[in-house]
Chain A
Amino acid sequence: EAQVTQNPRYLITVTGKKLTVTCSQNMNHEYMSWYRQDPGLGLRQIYYSMNVEVTDKGDVPEGYKVSRKEKRNFPLILESPSPNQTSLYFCASSLRISGTSTDTQYFGPGTRLTVL
């Protein structure tokens, strides 16, 4: 089954304790992206990747890191989480980049992170 998977689905942690949220897709997609969803703010893009070893900042990258060493995986790293990073996080992937734009994105089920 074609899908985007995220782990863990739920995570409660404390301020300053490094964590990684994994994202994997089995559709051979080039484009992958991370978003956070907060009430009243919709989805905001954190980082995206156009291909292996190619990443760029979205609108809210502060406090986050990413890497794209393999096409299928795009982990999100919080090296020193803070309470304002408490949010619902989504990973997404896209089949291809059309011209200078991205195509339909397929979303993972989300990771609910709480930082105490």
Chain B
Amino acid sequence: AQSVTQLGSHVSVSEGALVLLRCNYSSSVPPYLFWYVQYPNQGLQLLLKYTTGATLVKGINGFEAEFKKSETSFHLTKPSAHMSDAAEYFCAVSDGSGTYKYIFGTGTRLKVLA
């Protein structure tokens, strides 16, 4: 069975500092990996995704993530945090074993300090 682990349920960074949100997955088949963001009182929207090809994936709002198969990781980074980045971030993996399930991590709430 596939799973996703997000380390740190809450992360605080200063405005302008590096953002690093960690995601590790387990999968017996090549995974599709996603990062979604949820702003307060809203649904989720896609930040970026990895399916195949280039392992460094760029997304919206300056975010990027690198798929590292050897480390089973897909960490999300942004070089310089902005106040508007404050939100909850979810890592997700699409089950590639043919069951079409979609598995989310428990989320990381990012706080940006002025």
Contacts and interface: CB of A to CB of B under 8 A. Distances in A.
Contact of B101 (A48, A105, A107): A48
A45 B43 contact: no
Interface of B: 6, 9, 29, 31-32, 34, 36, 42-46, 49, 51, 90, 92, 94-107
A75 interface: no
Given A33-B102, A42-B105, A58-B101, A104 B46 contact: yes
Interface in A85-116: 90, 92, 97-110
Interface residues of A, number: 31
Nearest to A33: B102
B100 A31 contact: yes
Interface of A: 4, 31, 33, 35, 40-45, 48, 50, 56, 58-59, 90, 92, 97-110
B100 A43 contact: no
Contacts of A58: 101
B102 A97 contact: no
Given A42-B90, A101-B32, A104-B49, A56 B44 contact: no
Contacts of B94: 101-103
Nearest to A110: B43
Given A42-B90, A90-B43, A101-B100, 20 more contacts: A40-B9, A40-B106, A41-B106, A42-B104, A43-B90, A45-B102, A48-B100, A56-B100, A58-B101, A59-B101, A97-B100, A101-B31, A101-B96, A102-B32, A102-B94, A103-B51, A104-B34, A104-B46, A107-B43, A107-B44
